[in-house]
Amino acid sequence: MRRQIVLVLVVLSIAMFWRPFLRPIGAGAILVADIYSSALWDRNVAGYVTPPPRVEDGIERIGAQDMRVTWWIPGWGSRHPAVMLVNGATEKGNDDSETRRLAEALARAGYLVMLPEFPFIKAGILEREATSLLDAAFARAVARPETKGMAVGAFGFSVGGGMLLAAASRPGALSEARYIGALGAYFDLDTYFASVLSLSQRRNGTLEPWDADPEVRVRLPVAAAEALANASDRELMRGALREAGGRLRGDPPIGLQSESAALWRALSATDYEVALERLHALPASLRDVLESLSPRTNWPSLKAPVFWLHDVGDRFEPVSEAETAAATAHAGPTRFQRTALLSHAAALGADAKEKGFDFWATELSGLLFFAASALGAGG
What confidence tens digit (pLDDT) does each residue in 261-282 have? 999 999 999 999 999 999 999 9
- Given a cut of 50, is residue 249 above it in pLDDT? yes
pLDDT band for position 18 (cuts 50, 70, 90): very low
Provide the CB-side half-sphere exposure for 220 (13 A, CA). 29
Inter-residue contact 115 to 103 (CB < 8 Å): yes
Q: Taking the domains of the chain in order of start, what are their residue ranges? A: 21-188+296-377, 189-292
- Given a cut of 50, is residue 10 above it in pLDDT? no
User: What is residue 202's three-state secondary structure?
Assistant: strand
Write down the mean pLDDT value for the chain. 85
Amino acid, single-letter form, for residue 344: H
Check residues 288 and 35 and name the one with the higher pLDDT: 288
Q: Express as a percent the part of the chain with pLDDT over 90.
A: 67
Region 48-68 average pLDDT: 89
Residue 16 has a pLDDT of 34
Residue 73 has a pLDDT of 95
Residue 7 has a pLDDT of 34
- Given a cut of 60, is residue 13 above it in pLDDT? no
Inter-residue contact 228 to 234 (CB < 8 Å): yes
- Given a cut of 60, is residue 46 above it in pLDDT? no
Residue 356 has a pLDDT of 58
Check residues 5 and 50 and name the one with the higher pLDDT: 50
Check residues 88 and 11 and name the one with the higher pLDDT: 88
Q: For strand 112-116 and strand 82-86, is the pairing parallel, antiparallel, or unpaired?
A: parallel
Inter-residue contact 153 to 180 (CB < 8 Å): yes
Amino acid, single-letter form, for residue 348: L
Cα gap 290→312, rounded to integer Å? 25
- Given a cut of 50, is residue 313 above it in pLDDT? yes
Cα gap 282→260, rounded to integer Å? 9
Q: In what order do the strands lie in the sheet with 54-62?
A: 54-62, 65-73, 112-116, 82-86, 152-157, 180-183, 306-311, 334-339
**CATH number assigned to the domain covering 21-188+296-377:** 3.40.50.1820
pLDDT band for position 80 (cuts 50, 70, 90): very high
What confidence tens digit (pLDDT) does each residue in 185-244 have? 999 999 999 999 999 999 999 999 999 999 999 999 999 999 999 999 999 999 999 999
- Chain centroid to Cα 347, Å, comes to 14
Residue 52 has a pLDDT of 87
Segment among 50-54, 128-132, 252-256 with least mean pLDDT = 50-54
Amino acid, single-letter form, for residue 46: A
- Given a cut of 50, is residue 11 above it in pLDDT? no
Segment among 3-12, 131-140, 148-157 with least mean pLDDT = 3-12
- Given a cut of 90, is residue 329 above it in pLDDT? yes
Region 150-156 average pLDDT: 94
- Sorted by sequence, the CB contacts under 8 Å of residue 235 that are 6+ apart come out as none
Q: What is the pTM of this model?
A: 0.85
pLDDT band for position 109 (cuts 50, 70, 90): confident
